[in-house]
Amino acid sequence: MDLDLLEKTELRINGITTDGTNLTDLARAVATTLELPEHQVMVIDLRPGQLALDILARSVRAEALFGRQAEVLAALAGVPGVSLAPDATIHSEGILGAIALEKDEAAQAIEASRAMGRTITSSRKARVRVYPTGFELVEGRIADTNTPYLVKQLEQAGYLAEAGGALPDQLASLSEALAEAATTHGLIVTTGGVGAEDKDFSVEAIAALDPQAATPYLVRFRKGEGRHVKDGVRIGVGEYQGCLIVALPGPHDEVRLATPVLVEAYKRNRSKAEMAQALADAIRAKFLANNRHPHGHHDFGEAP
């Protein structure tokens, strides 16, 4: 169970004296005991009887922190030149202060953290936000039929779905909005912006947050053909901070095709690759059956 330090990152050791001690060795001893990379622990102050360190990690594992005071003090005592008073202690104003818990208290706290984590994860998974994208929606030039439909279908499936405001055709704005919503939601769905023109950035916004995002093609063609600056139309499924982010096409009939597949895949905790492929197959199926081509393009296919 990872615990957010909430910007309370200072750890103070009282009752410590040093003599020719290497500060890097001090930081390394603490980092190793707390199961953190060495570069995430830094000595920020050393004075008679006290050592202060800054934990640069955003979070720490509860199991590596709770009740670990004795282990950390023992590791510091093993650093050349370090002496510890019999009553040496470790103190922090934030969650790091849990390092001083007694063993039985630590075990109870860890179990409570795990239970809370399960509750939060379950609650977060139930929260879904839907964003339409495109200047025509931002400026109110056309009606948004996708968001009400998706919200209704997701609510009927048992999720706490909500509509987000329309997002502009800008990569930075899209990525920022998705990253912010990802901290409180289990699923984010965008519609539109998956085409091959220079105003389509939904898939790229997901890839900016998750370089390993699954982005199968709906159709491929020669790059630079007509208004196309990309080599095809793709959808995207990525993950950021535990939140699944899905980019669907804008046409309403394609959203309707994709929605039941999306709901089923999300319920079954399918991987992003499995979900992306299932969505792409569902959308392609209509055009293949009718011998038509999505978005006016002409070659079906997937990324090599």
pTM above 0.85, yes or no: no
Per-domain boundaries in the chain = 2-120, 126-296
* Per-residue three-class SS string for 4-55: ECCCCCEEEEEEEEECCCCHHHHHHHHHHHCCCCHHHEEEEEEECEEEEEEE
State the pLDDT at residue 304.
Answer: 34
- Chain centroid to CA 245: how far? 9
Stretches where the chain sits below pLDDT 70 are: 1-6, 102-103, 106-107, 109-122, 222-229, 287, 289-304
CATH of domain 126-296: 3.40.980.10
pLDDT at 215: 95
Question: What pLDDT sits at residue 89?
Answer: 94
Q: Which of 134, 136, 302, 304 has its CA nearest to residue 233?
A: 302
According to the model, what pLDDT value does residue 49 have? Answer: 94
pLDDT at position 99 = 84
Alpha helices in 140-226 (DSSP H): 146-156, 171-182, 202-209
